[in-house]
Structure 1
Amino acid sequence: MSTEIPAGAESSKHDVSARTGVAIESRSIDWITPEERHGTPWRTSPLFFITNWSFFTIALGFTGPTLGLSVGWSIVSSFLGLLVGTFFMAFHATQGPQLGLPQIMQSRAQFGFYGVIVVVAMALACYLAFGVVYTILTAQGLAQIFGWSPVLVGLVVNVLGGLLAIAGHDYLHRISRLVFIVTVPLVLIFTVAVVVGKAGGTSEALVTNGFSASAFFTVFAVSAAYNMALAPVVSDYTRYLPVSTSPRSLIASVYVGAGASALWLISLGAWLSAHYNAGDALVALHQAGNSVFTGFGSVLALASAATLVVCIATAAYSVTLQFLTGVDLVKRVTPTRNLRIAVTAATIAIYLLVALPFGDHVINAASNALSLMLFLLVPWTAVNLTDYFFVRRGEYAITDMFTPQGVYGGWSWRGILAYFLGFAVMIPFAVLPFYTGPVGEWLGGIDLSWLAGLLASSAAYYLFTRRLDRAAEKRAVSVSNSQLESVDVPPSYVLDQPSLVSRLVEDAQRPR
């Protein structure tokens, strides 16, 4: 797509840059115009780093020792799982600068305008569950340590998270960089204390466990799925980057950010589980921190809770984009700033209404829901990446994604069938908290469903698209690019004007 500034937009360039520092983002599911693009690949890395930088990730590190793995084997398994899972997640990042759309909106090209409801339902359930889990863990954890009211803690962290989500894309990146700068030195101090034996706990001789293949592959699958869970939202946070952004640099930035923080904290979690025989990640972190020096545990606990505020904010931000995408399938909406604010506020209300009254009573249900949603993510990511890198190779008609009459149609049988075929293939291999498939049992609890799903959905989608009319699509891409280049953006567009969606739809429906 051309990066030429649309006619009439040149005069807005200075106005936009001068005022974005105090502006609440007005965009949601609309296309991001060239003059609004800004930033560099490596400035996105802190946000993806912070999404995994909390005691929620530390808790994942408990999995290995709980199943009988040594700390060393737990770290190796987590490293390999993250190596694979983050690989698939990071490649979604390149779609943001190229298309300028949220991640789920892009899936209309593979599933059709209406068919994307499959993906919307999956992503909404996943990120609503994440927000509930974040709220419960923070409220209950800080209540245990400091004796604070869990209701009050839940309200505070969600209000703060909601305000950040309402402020929007740029503010989320800024606060992530700030939290990164403040918290990384704290965790680095704690890590050094662990390495030199100053973080307390029992001796290594008393906690050394062995190795089992089922435990090793369980940790591998959990670690891989953890970063795959970010796949439906990656482009939400890269779509403001310029089209000229280097794909390699962006992939590396996201990969390093999400992978490094997850491996770091999962490793610490494995150590805490083995040396403190802990059942609660935040409490264990607090105890170990205080072993370094008095009060340091409280600082670590508060820092970890602060990162969960950012996690709540990013989850709520993406839920809003996913919800508006779903509503747009039923009733055409003009996604203005006020509508985005209203949906974000409703999302925060859902987190509070589910998490605060029920607390620990819903944590298992929410965790099981997350396990299922992560399971369902695999065939989607396979279809999406196969389409982007091997079928359409990054060439899409943006305007056609805003109408069922476009080149991608209302329902795309290729993407839908490939998705459900992958899902069906995964079932026998599955090892979930509430179900184990026959192959999973035969393998002794080793979960290879993710691999089966990736291969099945990718292969099926690639075969189904062999007869795709790419010539017609290329013509649609050319028309779409011409329409986008001709869009006239008013000087105050970013702050005050409604969405471009209606205009894009009108353009897409003009006779060709």
Structure 2
Amino acid sequence: MNASASAVEVQGASFIPDEQRSGRPRDLFFMFLSANVTQLYVVIGATIMLFGLEVWQAVVVILLSNTLMFLMGWFATLGAAGGVPTSIITRAIFGLRGNRIFGAGVVVVLSAMVTTVNLVIGTQGGLVIAERLGIAQGPATTAVVCGLIVLTSVGLAIYGYNMMVRTSGVLTIIIAAAFVLLAFFVVQKVDLAAFVPVPTDQPVIGFIIALTLCIAMPLSWGSAADFARQIPSTARRTPIVLAVGLGGMIPLVGLELIGVLAATATDMTDPIAGLVGLVPDWFGTVLVVVIVIGSIMNTVMTIYGGSFGIQAAGVPVNRVTAVIALGLTAAAATVYVLFLADDFLGILQLGLTCLGSIAAPLTAILLIDSIRRRGRYDGRALSVTSPDSPFWYRGGFRISGIVALLVGSVIALLSLNGASYQGPISRWLGGVDMSILFGGLVTAVLFVILSRVLDRPALTSADLPILSTERTMP
């Protein structure tokens, strides 16, 4: 697309021909860097220290979990190759009809969850700014701040890809500089020699739960193809993988480590207050402003990708309407968390582990299917919605993908150990949370077996000539 950043993007979830794409791999680096410079990851870093980890163990957890961003980079290449978003690519996995629920539908749910978390973080930061400006705290102030965060996020998402590229390039420098200063100030207050981990009788269980919690965030970027589809299909894959991998991993690792160090120096039950207490007063205001900006950028990208999921699910709306609908849904959930929930950290932990339990099986299926197809998805063929489509399978459903996802997700939820829920498999294992590992493995094995038995002919249909596109997505 050659439209300027000031023009509203009208392109929906349908195929984008090469001649209309103007994206570059380096754009993805700045987009993922700016969107991942958010205080949420500081919260996660501080939260994993509640499970009795030593600092070195926390470092291992953070490094291991966030290398998954390079896998998200591989998924991004699928968008460049096919010219369609993730929620259309998943038609190849679940069938045209099955995708409405199990592919696009899941993308919408995950997008709403991540958006809600970011809106809560942004609103909390906005309230700190309001307090520093002398504005009285109360329900009305909370509602106004939340409303402003939602309007800003939805507004930028409406303008779309070119606006995100233009904005991220400028904000990355500002935000990154602020968090480098934050790291400097936090390190000054840390005394690792005096740090005593939270007492625990089950350190291995704590390590696994922390790993599960951290893995959830890289997995939430499984829709990276939504942004890379603006890159011509002739682009090399390696730069795309590196752009997404490094753009996401650098801030994730850095900010989670800051959270770990902050947890050794102060009480991080209230994350923003805890951070502000570790820095000079003048920088406290700057820090909170940056936190709000980072949360907004993350929200913009999440809503943008989620809007394609709404269209791919068969809802007959344009992209702008889908953006507004997803934004309002997440705003309603945010209001619940802000006004009715008692324990945000508990909700955050449960939400992230549940997110991972759903995202891990979907990631496993997409990985296997994309490797089998060598990363090549025909965007034009995927846009055909008639029974002539090679992705029609049986009545519009690919049974192997659907069954594998359902069984894997159930196994993951039964293996989950969250703040307010523990599955029977986790109890049987003595409290170990194996939701992501078990969910992903069971899904992968089941998908491989079922796809060989049920839809071997359909797998070869990806190599068929491009079909007529008379009946394509609007």
TM-score range, shorter chain: 0.7 to 0.9
Which residue is equivalent to 1:371? 353
The whole-number CA distance in structure 2 between the counterparts of 1:193 and 1:357 is 34
SS at match of 2:279: helix
Whether the 8 Å CA contact 1:169–1:237 is kept in 2: the answer is yes
Q: Normalization by structure 2: what TM-score?
A: 0.88
Which residue is equivalent to 2:285? 298
Which residue is equivalent to 2:138? none
User: Letter of the aligned partner of 2:361 in structure 1?
Assistant: P
Q: Against the structure 1 CA distance between its residues 159 and 425, is the aligned structure 2 distance closer, same or farther, given a 3 Å change threshold?
A: closer
SS at match of 1:295: helix
1:351 corresponds to 2:362: no
SS at match of 1:32: coil
Structure 1 segment 244-259 matched on structure 2, within 5 A: 244-259=234-249
CA positional deviation for 1:42 = 2.3
The whole-number CA distance in structure 1 between the counterparts of 2:84 and 2:367 is 15
Which has the larger displacement, 138-147 or 62-71? 138-147
The whole-number CA distance in structure 1 between the counterparts of 2:439 and 2:165 is 33
Whether the 8 Å CA contact 2:186–2:279 is kept in 1: the answer is no
The whole-number CA distance in structure 2 between the counterparts of 1:316 and 1:229 is 12
1:394-425 CA-partner distances (Å, limit 9, x unpaired):
24363344314111111111111221232344
User: Letter of the aligned partner of 2:106 in structure 1?
Assistant: M
Q: Against the structure 1 CA distance between its residues 143 and 245, is the aligned structure 2 distance closer, same or farther, given a 3 Å change threshold?
A: same
User: Letter of the aligned partner of 2:305 in structure 1?
Assistant: S
1:425-476 CA-partner distances (Å, limit 9, x unpaired):
4345332334333442344433223222222222222233336126861563
1:327 corresponds to 2:341: no
CA positional deviation for 1:392 = 6.1
Q: Against the structure 1 CA distance between its residues 404 and 367, is the aligned structure 2 distance closer, same or farther, given a 3 Å change threshold?
A: farther
CA positional deviation for 1:153 = 1.5
1:190 corresponds to 2:177: no
CA positional deviation for 1:214 = 1.5
Which residue is equivalent to 1:70? 54
Q: Against the structure 1 CA distance between its residues 345 and 427, is the aligned structure 2 distance closer, same or farther, given a 3 Å change threshold?
A: closer
SS at match of 2:268: coil
Which residue is equivalent to 1:479? 466
Q: Normalization by structure 1: what TM-score?
A: 0.82
The whole-number CA distance in structure 2 between the counterparts of 1:188 and 1:27 is 37
Count of residues paired in the alignment: 453
The whole-number CA distance in structure 2 between the counterparts of 1:54 and 1:35 is 35
1:229-265 CA-partner distances (Å, limit 9, x unpaired):
111x211111100101211221121111111111100
Which residue is equivalent to 1:10? none
The whole-number CA distance in structure 1 between the counterparts of 2:334 and 2:124 is 10
The whole-number CA distance in structure 2 between the counterparts of 1:399 and 1:349 is 33
The whole-number CA distance in structure 1 between the counterparts of 2:97 and 2:217 is 28
Equivalent of residue 265 in structure 1, options 251, 255, 263: 255
Equivalent of residue 192 in structure 2, options 200, 204, 210: 204
Whether the 8 Å CA contact 1:400–1:505 is kept in 2: the answer is no
1:216 corresponds to 2:195: no
SS at match of 2:294: helix
1:95 corresponds to 2:81: no
The whole-number CA distance in structure 1 between the counterparts of 2:473 and 2:183 is 53
Whether the 8 Å CA contact 2:125–2:291 is kept in 1: the answer is no
Which has the larger displacement, 419-428 or 340-349? 419-428
Whether the 8 Å CA contact 1:109–1:401 is kept in 2: the answer is no
The whole-number CA distance in structure 1 between the counterparts of 2:216 and 2:351 is 13
Equivalent of residue 267 in structure 2, options 267, 271, 277: 277
Whether the 8 Å CA contact 2:158–2:323 is kept in 1: the answer is yes
User: Letter of the aligned partner of 1:44 in structure 2?
Assistant: L
Amino-acid identity (%): 20
Structure 1 segment 39-438 matched on structure 2, within 5 A: 39-83=23-67, 85-116=68-99, 117-144=101-128, 146-147=130-131, 148=135, 149-195=141-187, 197=188, 200=189, 203-209=191-197, 212-231=203-222, 233-290=223-280, 294-328=281-315, 333=316, 339-356=318-335, 359-362=338-341, 363=344, 368-391=350-373, 393-396=375-378, 398-405=380-387, 406-409=389-392, 410-438=396-424
Q: CA RMSD in A?
A: 2.6
CA positional deviation for 1:205 = 4.0
1:469 corresponds to 2:457: yes
Which residue is equivalent to 1:496? none
User: Letter of the aligned partner of 1:239 in structure 2?
Assistant: R
Whether the 8 Å CA contact 1:399–1:504 is kept in 2: the answer is no
- Unaligned 5+ runs, structure 2: 136-140
User: Letter of the aligned partner of 2:324 in structure 1?
Assistant: A
User: Letter of the aligned partner of 1:241 in structure 2?
Assistant: I
CA positional deviation for 1:35 = 0.9
- Unaligned 5+ runs, structure 1: 1-15, 484-500, 507-512
Which has the larger displacement, 301-310 or 397-406? 397-406
Q: Against the structure 1 CA distance between its residues 115 and 404, is the aligned structure 2 distance closer, same or farther, given a 3 Å change threshold?
A: farther
The whole-number CA distance in structure 2 between the counterparts of 1:133 and 1:397 is 32
User: Letter of the aligned partner of 1:283 in structure 2?
Assistant: A
Whether the 8 Å CA contact 1:272–1:278 is kept in 2: the answer is yes
The whole-number CA distance in structure 2 between the counterparts of 1:173 and 1:460 is 39
